[in-house]
Amino acid sequence: MSTSILVTGGTGTLGRAVVARLREAGHDPRVMSRRPGPGHVVADLVTGDGVDAALDGVDIVINCATTLRGERDVVATRTLVEAFRRAGCRHLVHVSIVGVDRIHFGYYNGKLASEEVVRAVPHTILRATQFHDLLRTIFAVLAKLPVMFVPRLRFQPVDVRDVAARLVELALGDPIGRAPDFGGPEVRDAVDLARSHLAGRRRLIVPFSLPGKAFRAYRAGGNLTPEHADGKITFEEDR
Protein backbone atom coordinates (compact mmCIF):
# COMPACT_ATOMS: atom_id res chain seq x y z
CA MET A 1 0.00 0.00 0.00
CA SER A 2 1.47 3.42 -0.91
CA THR A 3 1.97 6.17 1.66
CA SER A 4 -0.57 8.96 1.56
CA ILE A 5 0.91 12.42 2.16
CA LEU A 6 -0.95 15.68 2.74
CA VAL A 7 0.78 19.05 2.39
CA THR A 8 -1.11 21.81 4.18
CA GLY A 9 -0.20 25.21 2.78
CA GLY A 10 0.84 23.35 -0.37
CA THR A 11 -0.03 26.43 -2.45
CA GLY A 12 2.34 28.69 -0.47
CA THR A 13 5.98 29.63 -1.09
CA LEU A 14 7.45 26.69 0.82
CA GLY A 15 4.52 24.33 0.29
CA ARG A 16 4.82 24.52 -3.53
CA ALA A 17 8.49 23.50 -3.26
CA VAL A 18 7.56 20.62 -0.94
CA VAL A 19 4.89 19.38 -3.35
CA ALA A 20 7.35 19.60 -6.26
CA ARG A 21 9.99 17.68 -4.29
CA LEU A 22 7.51 14.96 -3.32
CA ARG A 23 6.43 14.57 -6.95
CA GLU A 24 10.07 14.31 -8.06
CA ALA A 25 10.44 11.50 -5.52
CA GLY A 26 7.47 9.66 -7.06
CA HIS A 27 4.78 10.59 -4.50
CA ASP A 28 1.36 11.97 -5.31
CA PRO A 29 0.63 14.35 -2.41
CA ARG A 30 -2.72 15.88 -1.57
CA VAL A 31 -2.61 19.67 -1.30
CA MET A 32 -4.80 21.41 1.26
CA SER A 33 -6.00 24.86 0.22
CA ARG A 34 -8.95 27.11 1.00
CA ARG A 35 -9.48 27.37 -2.76
CA PRO A 36 -10.30 24.64 -5.27
CA GLY A 37 -7.61 23.74 -7.78
CA PRO A 38 -6.03 20.72 -9.45
CA GLY A 39 -5.09 18.13 -6.79
CA HIS A 40 -6.49 20.32 -3.99
CA VAL A 41 -8.58 19.22 -1.05
CA VAL A 42 -10.50 22.28 0.06
CA ALA A 43 -10.32 22.94 3.80
CA ASP A 44 -9.86 25.80 6.23
CA LEU A 45 -7.73 25.25 9.32
CA VAL A 46 -9.14 28.30 11.09
CA THR A 47 -12.85 27.46 10.72
CA GLY A 48 -12.24 23.68 10.64
CA ASP A 49 -14.34 23.29 7.46
CA GLY A 50 -13.29 20.26 5.41
CA VAL A 51 -10.30 19.38 7.63
CA ASP A 52 -11.46 15.88 8.69
CA ALA A 53 -12.17 14.94 5.08
CA ALA A 54 -8.78 16.31 4.00
CA LEU A 55 -6.96 14.07 6.51
CA ASP A 56 -9.03 10.96 5.87
CA GLY A 57 -6.70 8.08 4.92
CA VAL A 58 -3.56 10.21 5.26
CA ASP A 59 -0.37 8.78 6.83
CA ILE A 60 1.94 11.80 6.81
CA VAL A 61 1.07 15.49 7.10
CA ILE A 62 3.63 18.17 6.20
CA ASN A 63 2.31 21.39 7.71
CA CYS A 64 3.38 24.41 5.67
CA ALA A 65 0.19 26.41 6.33
CA THR A 66 0.41 29.74 8.08
CA THR A 67 -2.09 32.49 8.69
CA LEU A 68 0.52 35.22 9.39
CA ARG A 69 -1.27 36.12 12.64
CA GLY A 70 0.18 34.52 15.77
CA GLU A 71 -2.99 33.63 17.66
CA ARG A 72 -4.76 32.41 14.50
CA ASP A 73 -1.80 30.21 13.71
CA VAL A 74 -2.24 28.48 17.06
CA VAL A 75 -5.95 27.92 16.35
CA ALA A 76 -5.10 26.48 12.92
CA THR A 77 -2.42 24.19 14.36
CA ARG A 78 -4.79 22.96 17.08
CA THR A 79 -7.46 22.18 14.49
CA LEU A 80 -4.90 20.24 12.46
CA VAL A 81 -3.59 18.27 15.45
CA GLU A 82 -7.10 17.30 16.60
CA ALA A 83 -8.06 16.11 13.11
CA PHE A 84 -4.70 14.29 12.81
CA ARG A 85 -5.56 12.33 15.97
CA ARG A 86 -9.08 11.49 14.84
CA ALA A 87 -7.79 10.29 11.46
CA GLY A 88 -5.08 8.13 13.10
CA CYS A 89 -2.28 9.64 11.00
CA ARG A 90 1.30 8.52 11.64
CA HIS A 91 3.63 11.54 11.37
CA LEU A 92 3.12 15.31 11.53
CA VAL A 93 6.00 17.37 10.17
CA HIS A 94 5.72 20.99 11.22
CA VAL A 95 7.67 24.01 9.98
CA SER A 96 8.78 26.66 12.43
CA ILE A 97 11.32 29.48 12.52
CA VAL A 98 14.84 29.64 13.97
CA GLY A 99 14.81 31.83 17.08
CA VAL A 100 11.10 31.68 17.99
CA ASP A 101 12.22 31.01 21.56
CA ARG A 102 14.66 33.96 21.54
CA ILE A 103 12.72 36.66 19.69
CA HIS A 104 9.35 37.68 21.06
CA PHE A 105 6.61 39.35 19.03
CA GLY A 106 3.13 38.34 17.94
CA TYR A 107 3.83 36.04 14.98
CA TYR A 108 6.86 34.36 16.59
CA ASN A 109 4.96 33.86 19.88
CA GLY A 110 2.26 32.08 17.88
CA LYS A 111 4.86 29.90 16.16
CA LEU A 112 6.35 28.91 19.52
CA ALA A 113 2.91 28.11 20.97
CA SER A 114 2.12 26.06 17.84
CA GLU A 115 5.22 23.94 18.41
CA GLU A 116 3.81 23.08 21.84
CA VAL A 117 0.47 22.08 20.29
CA VAL A 118 2.19 19.80 17.77
CA ARG A 119 3.99 17.91 20.57
CA ALA A 120 0.69 16.14 21.42
CA VAL A 121 1.08 13.80 18.41
CA PRO A 122 3.97 11.90 16.75
CA HIS A 123 5.84 14.79 15.18
CA THR A 124 8.97 16.32 13.75
CA ILE A 125 9.52 20.08 14.02
CA LEU A 126 11.95 21.81 11.66
CA ARG A 127 12.89 25.41 12.37
CA ALA A 128 14.26 27.24 9.31
CA THR A 129 15.82 30.66 8.80
CA GLN A 130 14.31 33.40 6.57
CA PHE A 131 13.49 32.37 3.01
CA HIS A 132 15.09 34.18 0.04
CA ASP A 133 11.57 35.00 -1.17
CA LEU A 134 10.70 36.82 2.06
CA LEU A 135 13.80 39.01 1.88
CA ARG A 136 13.31 39.73 -1.83
CA THR A 137 9.68 40.72 -1.14
CA ILE A 138 10.79 43.08 1.65
CA PHE A 139 13.64 44.55 -0.45
CA ALA A 140 11.29 45.08 -3.41
CA VAL A 141 9.03 47.21 -1.18
CA LEU A 142 11.97 49.10 0.39
CA ALA A 143 13.46 49.78 -3.06
CA LYS A 144 10.37 51.71 -4.18
CA LEU A 145 11.84 54.87 -2.60
CA PRO A 146 15.02 56.53 -3.92
CA VAL A 147 16.48 56.08 -0.41
CA MET A 148 16.37 52.48 0.74
CA PHE A 149 16.01 52.14 4.52
CA VAL A 150 17.41 48.75 5.55
CA PRO A 151 17.42 47.33 9.09
CA ARG A 152 20.81 46.95 10.74
CA LEU A 153 20.44 43.16 11.00
CA ARG A 154 21.99 39.94 9.79
CA PHE A 155 20.17 37.16 8.01
CA GLN A 156 21.03 33.61 7.00
CA PRO A 157 18.66 33.35 4.07
CA VAL A 158 17.70 29.92 2.83
CA ASP A 159 16.19 28.68 -0.40
CA VAL A 160 12.80 26.98 -0.06
CA ARG A 161 14.02 24.15 -2.33
CA ASP A 162 16.68 23.29 0.25
CA VAL A 163 14.14 23.44 3.10
CA ALA A 164 11.68 21.34 1.07
CA ALA A 165 14.29 18.64 0.44
CA ARG A 166 15.01 18.41 4.17
CA LEU A 167 11.31 18.36 5.08
CA VAL A 168 10.62 15.52 2.66
CA GLU A 169 13.58 13.56 4.02
CA LEU A 170 12.27 14.05 7.57
CA ALA A 171 8.68 13.25 6.60
CA LEU A 172 9.63 9.89 5.10
CA GLY A 173 11.49 8.91 8.30
CA ASP A 174 10.15 8.30 11.80
CA PRO A 175 8.99 11.20 14.01
CA ILE A 176 12.03 12.61 15.87
CA GLY A 177 10.58 15.58 17.78
CA ARG A 178 12.63 18.73 17.21
CA ALA A 179 15.06 18.25 14.32
CA PRO A 180 18.34 20.19 14.15
CA ASP A 181 17.68 23.73 12.90
CA PHE A 182 18.09 24.43 9.20
CA GLY A 183 19.81 27.58 7.94
CA GLY A 184 21.02 29.00 4.68
CA PRO A 185 24.66 28.66 3.58
CA GLU A 186 25.78 32.19 4.59
CA VAL A 187 25.20 34.73 7.36
CA ARG A 188 25.00 38.14 5.68
CA ASP A 189 24.38 41.77 6.60
CA ALA A 190 20.98 42.99 5.44
CA VAL A 191 22.70 45.94 3.73
CA ASP A 192 24.88 43.57 1.73
CA LEU A 193 21.83 41.47 0.74
CA ALA A 194 19.90 44.61 -0.22
CA ARG A 195 22.77 45.73 -2.46
CA SER A 196 22.86 42.31 -4.07
CA HIS A 197 19.08 42.43 -4.58
CA LEU A 198 19.39 45.79 -6.36
CA ALA A 199 21.74 44.15 -8.88
CA GLY A 200 23.26 47.44 -10.01
CA ARG A 201 20.15 49.63 -9.65
CA ARG A 202 21.17 52.87 -7.93
CA ARG A 203 19.72 53.54 -4.48
CA LEU A 204 21.15 55.25 -1.44
CA ILE A 205 21.03 52.56 1.29
CA VAL A 206 20.48 53.91 4.82
CA PRO A 207 20.75 51.40 7.68
CA PHE A 208 18.40 51.93 10.62
CA SER A 209 17.85 50.46 14.10
CA LEU A 210 14.61 50.24 16.07
CA PRO A 211 14.06 50.35 19.80
CA GLY A 212 12.55 47.37 21.58
CA LYS A 213 13.36 43.86 22.71
CA ALA A 214 12.41 42.07 19.51
CA PHE A 215 14.76 44.16 17.35
CA ARG A 216 17.53 43.76 19.95
CA ALA A 217 17.10 39.99 19.99
CA TYR A 218 17.20 39.95 16.16
CA ARG A 219 20.24 42.22 16.19
CA ALA A 220 21.97 39.84 18.62
CA GLY A 221 21.61 37.11 16.00
CA GLY A 222 18.61 35.31 17.53
CA ASN A 223 17.39 34.52 14.00
CA LEU A 224 20.64 32.80 13.00
CA THR A 225 21.95 29.24 13.20
CA PRO A 226 25.52 29.44 11.85
CA GLU A 227 26.27 25.95 13.16
CA HIS A 228 23.56 24.62 10.82
CA ALA A 229 24.42 26.35 7.55
CA ASP A 230 22.99 23.34 5.72
CA GLY A 231 21.26 25.02 2.78
CA LYS A 232 23.23 24.90 -0.46
CA ILE A 233 21.65 27.56 -2.68
CA THR A 234 22.92 31.10 -2.05
CA PHE A 235 20.88 34.31 -2.25
CA GLU A 236 22.57 35.19 -5.56
CA GLU A 237 21.95 31.73 -7.04
CA ASP A 238 18.19 32.11 -6.48
CA ARG A 239 17.25 34.91 -8.84
Ligand X SMILES: NC(=O)c1ccc[n+]([C@@H]2O[C@H](COP(=O)([O-])OP(=O)(O)OC[C@H]3O[C@@H](n4cnc5c(N)ncnc54)[C@H](OP(=O)(O)O)[C@@H]3O)[C@@H](O)[C@H]2O)c1
14/74 with CB nearer ligand X: 14
Name the residue with the smallest CB distance to ligand X: 12
Give the nearest distance from C-beta 143 to ligand X in angstroms.
Answer: 18
Chain residues binding ligand X by CB under 6 A are 8-9, 11-15, 32-35, 44-46, 64-67, 76, 95, 97, 111, 128, 130-131, 134
Give the nearest distance from C-beta 26 to ligand X in angstroms.
Answer: 23
The span from the first CA to the last CA of the chain, in angstroms, equals 40
What is the DSSP pairing of strand 60-63 with strand 5-8? Answer: parallel
131/235 with CB nearer ligand X: 131
14/148 with CB nearer ligand X: 14
84/131 with CB nearer ligand X: 131
Give the nearest distance from C-beta 52 to ligand X in angstroms.
Answer: 14
Contact 182, 158 (CB under 8 A): yes
Give the nearest distance from C-beta 152 to ligand X in angstroms.
Answer: 19
